[in-house]
Amino acid sequence: MLPSAFEIKNPKTLSDALEILQDGKDQIQILAGGTDVLPRLKNGFIHPKMIMDLTMLKSELSQINVENGILKIGAFVTHTQICQSTVVNNTVPVLAQACQTIGCRQIRNRGTIGGNIVNASPAGDTLPVLLALDAVVQIISRAKTRELPLDDLLLGPGKVSLGSDEMISEIRIPVKSSIMKGMFKKLGTRNALNIAIASAAVVLDSCGNKRIAYGALAPRPIRAREVEEALNQNQNLLWEDVKTIIFRTVHPISDVRASADYRKEMAANLTYMCLADLGVL
Ligand X SMILES: Cc1cc2nc3c(=O)[nH]c(=O)nc-3n(C[C@H](O)[C@H](O)[C@H](O)COP(=O)(O)OP(=O)(O)OC[C@H]3O[C@@H](n4cnc5c(N)ncnc54)[C@H](O)[C@@H]3O)c2cc1C
List contacts with ligand X (CB under 6 A): 29-37, 39, 75, 102-103, 107, 110-112, 114-116, 118-119, 124-125, 167-168, 193-195
Shortest reach from residue 115's CB to ligand X, in Å? 2
Element (H, E) at 242: helix 239-249
When the beta carbons of 193 and 260 are compared against ligand X, the nearer one is: 193
Contact yes or no for 168/161 (Cβ under 8 A):
no
Nearest approach in angstroms of CB 140 to ligand X is 9
Sheet of strand 145-149: strand arrangement: 64-67, 70-74, 167-174, 136-140, 145-149
Angle between helices 239-249 and 225-233 (to 10 degrees): 160
Nearer to ligand X, 39 or 69 (CB): 39
Which amino acid appears at position 142 of this protein? R
Contacts of 139 (CB under 8 A, 6+ apart): 145, 146, 147, 148, 162, 166, 167, 168, 169
CB–CB of 247/262 below 8 Å? no
Please answer whether residues 250 and 267 qualify as being in contact, where contact means their C-beta atoms are separated by less than 8 angstroms: yes
Nearer to ligand X, 183 or 275 (CB): 183
- Identify which of residues 93 and 215 has a Cβ nearer to ligand X in the complex: 215
For ligand X, give the closer residue by CB, 112 or 249.
112
Q: How far is the CB of 194 from ligand X (least distance, A)?
A: 6
CB of 179 to ligand X, least distance (A): 24
Considering only CA atoms, which of 85, 148, 78 is closest in space to residue 116?
A: 78
Please, what is the minimum distance in Å from the beta carbon of residue 30 to ligand X? 4
Shortest distance, CB of residue 110 to ligand X, whole angstroms?
Answer: 6
Our CB check for ligand X shows the closer of 125 and 228 to be 125
Nearest distance from residue 236's CB to ligand X, in Å?
A: 36
What is the distance between the alpha carbons of residues 212 and 128, in angstroms, rounded to a whole number? 8
Minimal CB distance residue for ligand X: 115
Range 24-37 burial, b when 16+ CB lie within 10 A, else e: beeebbbbbbbbbb
Q: Which is nearer to ligand X, 161 or 234 (CB)?
A: 161
CA 130 – CA 133 distance, rounded (Å): 5
From the list 234, 253, 256, the residue with the least C-alpha distance to 245 is 234
